Amino acid sequence: MSRIKQVINETAVPSWLNSVPHNYGDMGAGTIKADEWRNLSTIFFPLALISMWGEGTSHPSPEIATRFRCILDHTMTVVSAISLACMRTMTLRRSAAYLEYMTQYICDFLILYPDIKPRPNMHMAMHVPHFLHLFGPVRSWWCFPFERLIGQIQRLLSNHKFGDLFFMLLMACLNIFGICFIQAKWNLHYFIHFLRPVT
């Protein structure tokens, strides 16, 4: 964990790349969002693992070195699949490569971790190429914008007053989407009064 934190703090990333918590793994880091998980798994985890288990690293025994190298190769297989799935454009060749990487990842998982049962999301990951054919690049149908909106709504103070919940959510959404200037200009409170549910 300390090596991952060190990599996060020492790696220079482009300004357009969403940052990840510098105190990743600590209680104060909060909940990691999906976009942060993507950046951690495709940028910071590989850098940390390669520096610890890659070519030229030293280990107590050749068996441990071989085991770590197998785990590193296994991790890089899923990183390759994630990178392909998250590209801004999608082709049949990329989709086929994604499926190949995920198939290899699951096969190696069964060998490397025989005591752990495969997870349902592994099965679901095998269906992603079908969605790529139907809907195009993942960026056009992933849910990060909705996750952000849900995060904003979860931080609203409701004081458990359910009668005003609709009004409160509407005003919060208007503020989130930057339409708060309408509120002052056209006295939106007056019009929204008629939208309140009858109690």
pLDDT digits 0-9 by tens, 140-179: 877 766 667 667 667 766 666 655 666 666 666 666 655 5
Q: Give whole-number Cα distances, 92 to 89, 96, 100, 141, in Å.
A: 10, 6, 12, 18
- The DSSP string of 83-151 is HHHT-SS--HHHHHHHHHHHHHHHHHHHHH-TTSPPPHHHHHHTTHHHHHHHH-SGGGT--HHHHHHHH
Instruction: Among 19-23, 60-64, 134-138, 152-156, name the most confident range.
Output: 60-64
Max CA pair span of the chain: 75
Would the pLDDT of 6 be above 60?
Answer: yes
Q: Which residue has the higher pLDDT, 134 or 33?
A: 134
Confidence grade of residue 76 (pLDDT, cut at 50, 70, 90) = very high
Per cent of the chain over pLDDT 70 is: 72
Nearest to 71 by CA among 23, 35, 121, 116: 116
Burial of residue 190 (CB within 10 Å: 0-12, 13-18, 19+) is exposed
- Helix, strand, coil shares of the chain, percent, nearest 5, are 70, 0, 30
Would the pLDDT of 188 be above 60?
Answer: no
Is the pTM above the cut of 0.75?
Answer: no
- Other Cβ atoms within 10 Å of 85 Cβ, number: 24
**pLDDT tens digit string along 91-123?**
999 999 999 999 999 999 999 999 999 999 999
